[in-house]
Amino acid sequence: MIGKLKGLVEGISDDKALIDVNGVCYETHCSGRTLTAMPAKGEAVSLFIETYVREDQLKLFGFISESEKQWFLLLMTVQGVGAKVALAILSTLSASELSSSIALQDKAMVGRAPGVGPKVAQRIVSELKGKAPVGGVIDAGVQGLQEALGEGVASGNVADAVSALTNLGYAQAQASAAVARIVAKEGDGVETEKLIRMGLKELSS
């Protein structure tokens, strides 16, 4: 099985890249995020690879990071999520946004990805809760607070501050991360109004 490819970028299309490894070109299916991060044609690139083998086909899926590959594999453990949908999700959400969406049980955020209906989005946030890949991309304290918000058990001042920041137009993941950083420094006894002010300062910095 192929686990990693190191070669030169031969070409990039809407959903795949051609990687030239010593004269052999490998077609790798990639997320939009990975394709955007690719260097120019002729330049060196290294991709983490998942080899997909079936009786009638063999496909390579390429990822710019080990984290993205692990999320791809994790997403495909959910019923209704195949390779195409998993790549669509990873094209729409960064690994950090995906972690936050699952912690917050924010199915609407996951549902932004093409091909992800409400039922599949609900299964993703429910079944993958607490299963972020090892070496996750968000701070444990932030994730803990986001999980408390998702479960409706966060303290009132924290929940109210996050709600207020969300109403001001910030994404819930951004708002909860900002409030979590403040709580880590100041403790969870900060009054709601002060949390909002400090949250706004944190988000604008």
Q: Which residues contact 58 (CB under 8 A, 6 or more apart)?
A: 51, 52
**pLDDT tens track, the chain, 205 positions:** 788 999 999 999 888 999 999 999 999 999 999 999 999 999 999 999 999 887 778 899 999 988 899 999 999 999 999 999 999 999 998 877 788 788 778 888 899 899 999 999 999 988 998 777 654 445 555 666 666 666 655 567 777 888 888 888 887 777 877 887 777 777 767 788 888 888 888 787 6
Answering whether pTM is above 0.75, one says: no
From the number of C-beta atoms within 10 Å of its C-beta (0-12, 13-18, 19+), residue 12 rates as: middle
Q: What angle do CA 138, 61, 57 make, to 5 degrees?
A: 150
